[in-house]
Amino acid sequence: MARCAQLEVMGTRETAPGTSPGRLRVPAGMRVGIACGGTGGHLFPGMAVAELLLEAGACVTLFVSPKEVDRRGVRGLPGVEVVTLPVAAWQAGSRVACLLGMMGSWVRVRRHLRGVAGWVVLGMGGFSSVPVVAAAWWLGCPVVLHEANAVPGRANRRLARWAERVLVGFEEAGRGWRGVEVRVTGTPVRREIAELAAWDAGRRLERRREVLSELGLDGARPTVLVVGGSQGARGLNERVTACAVNWQGTGRGVPQWIHLTGVQDEERIRGVYRSAGVPAVVMAFSDRMVDLLVAADAVVARSGASFLAELAAARVPAVLIPFPAAVDDHQWHNARLYADTGAARLLGQSEAVPDRLRRELELLLWDERVRSGMVEALGRWHRPGAAAAVVEELVVVAGRNRGTVREPRAGGKAGRG
């Protein structure tokens, strides 16, 4: 009979940001495959775990998609083996490509894992995890899943039957799993962003001025950072620019903008700001998220779980506008948890009309009571030990399976001895 999962909250201890690998131990010969491609929300937490694993002595392979966000992201993590899979998302008009990509990816992962002992596979969720986890299970390699969102994703819900353990970012996501152990670890954050939590006000102010100067912006002017996510966000882009243009004519403390648009909207949005005379720096993506968060006095963003974890580490007040078409409306549920605790303001996309969005941002920019309360609330969401907690769970699973040999599945050969 399937049993209900028992939750254990981990990753809450007060470790220094970027936990020292000296406190982590991995078994000799431990190999970890991390399926984390497709979006920045899957990639960056996976990279944070990979970084700690490398320093603790494990061999690490990242399985990623061909998307630009993956190609750009993995450049910043030397020493990790990267395997790009021909995987594609399940979308209208691309289902044949998705199925073919899944099959090709499964074969490639199987060839990579089989015949080598010591593998543990970590799936970070999303479509690109499916062939990796399936191949690992077929070969008998232990599988661990991480679910960052408040509402478990479809891929993880289906893959959980093959996992020995599920790790979750939000405690709310830990309920309802059956037949699998569940741990609340938090969502790992890139080390350079986690370290922002330890910066004092003087250091932040000095670096803020430097970054704004480098970007050609005014160091004395309030600055709003707009982040649509690694895939971009047309609805968000349009609402923010409408607010910025409307605000320009009000004459009250008009802010300047740093706007990450995604590739498709970059030139169009840049033209809107330029035509309206609004001071703005527009980029499709940026590899300088630490600098941009330090430069920002307020943020307007979608509410993917990975970015929310980064926001908590950086402690920047934000207006969250969830992507309304997100599967199971998971972005709204993520944002609601932050808003209910005072860690962010929440607007539905239809509510984010220019006047309403401007009023919300005015509170974050100039009401010190609101700002300080939100910064304090964000700090309560930050889990500095999340990446270390995930690594520790992988070590436990590896140790539990060490020296065992499983029967081949459907004619396969076990992947470890």
Helices (H), 74-113: 95-113
Q: What are the C-alpha distances in Å from 279 to residues 222, 301, 353? A: 11, 19, 20
- In 180-338 the beta strands, taken as DSSP E runs, fall at 181-184, 223-227, 256-260, 280-283, 298-301, 318-320
Q: Binding residue per annotation — 230?
A: yes
Percent of the chain past pLDDT 90, that is, above it, reads 72
The three-state secondary structure class of 238 is helix
Burial profile 310-345: b = 16 or more Cβ within 10 angstroms, e = fewer: bbbbbbbbbbbbbbeebeeebbbbbbbbbbeeebbb
* Residues in the chain, overall count: 417
- The span from the CA of 367 to the CA of 349, in Å, is 24
Question: What are the tens digits of pLDDT across the range 113-126?
Answer: 998 888 999 999 98
Query: Interhelix angle for 368-381 vs 330-340, to 10°?
Result: 120
pTM, two decimal places: 0.89
- The span from the CA of 242 to the CA of 152, in Å, is 34
Asked whether the predicted pLDDT for residue 92 surpasses 70, the reply is no
Say if domain 196-381 classifies as CATH 3.40.50.2000: yes
Question: What are the tens digits of pLDDT across the range 126-139?
Answer: 889 999 999 999 99
- In 326-387 the beta strands, taken as DSSP E runs, fall at 345-346
Tokens 């661990």 belong to which residue?
144
Delimit the domains of the chain by residue range: 2-187+383-399, 196-381
- The span from the CA of 136 to the CA of 15, in Å, is 32
Q: What are the C-alpha distances in Å from 292 to residues 184, 283, 288, 296? A: 29, 11, 6, 6
Asked whether the predicted pLDDT for residue 300 surpasses 70, the reply is yes
Q: Binding residue per annotation — 39?
A: yes
- The span from the CA of 318 to the CA of 115, in Å, is 49
Asked whether the predicted pLDDT for residue 343 surpasses 90, the reply is yes
Q: Work out the average pLDDT over 321-336.
A: 93
The CATH H-level (homologous superfamily) assignment of domain 2-187+383-399 is Glycogen Phosphorylase B; (3.40.50.2000)
Residue 62 near residue 34, CB atoms below 8 Å: yes
pLDDT value of residue 355:
95
pLDDT value of residue 90:
62
Q: Binding residue per annotation — 371?
A: no
pLDDT value of residue 407:
47
pLDDT value of residue 99:
85
Question: What are the tens digits of pLDDT across the range 147-206?
Answer: 999 999 999 999 999 999 999 999 999 987 988 999 999 999 999 999 999 999 999 999
Q: Binding residue per annotation — 40?
A: yes
Confidence of residue 299 (pLDDT cuts 50, 70, 90): very high
Question: What are the tens digits of pLDDT across the range 229-270?
Answer: 766 689 999 999 999 999 977 666 789 999 999 888 999 999
Residue 226 near residue 45, CB atoms below 8 Å: no
DSSP 196-213: GGG--HHHHHHHHHHHHH
Query: Interhelix angle for 129-139 vs 95-113, to 10°?
Result: 40
Question: What are the tens digits of pLDDT across the range 12-49?
Answer: 434 444 444 446 778 888 999 999 988 889 999 999 99
Q: Work out the average pLDDT over 321-348.
A: 95
Instruction: Return mean pLDDT, the chain.
Output: 88
Confidence of residue 77 (pLDDT cuts 50, 70, 90): confident
Q: Work out the average pLDDT over 96-109.
A: 89
- The span from the CA of 341 to the CA of 334, in Å, is 12
Tokens of 286: 């940026």
Q: Binding residue per annotation — 149?
A: yes
pLDDT value of residue 190:
92
Residue 262 near residue 283, CB atoms below 8 Å: no
Question: What are the tens digits of pLDDT across the range 361-409?
Answer: 999 999 999 999 999 999 999 999 999 999 999 999 998 877 554 444 5
Cα–Cα–Cα angle for 259, 227, 290, rounded to 5 degrees: 90
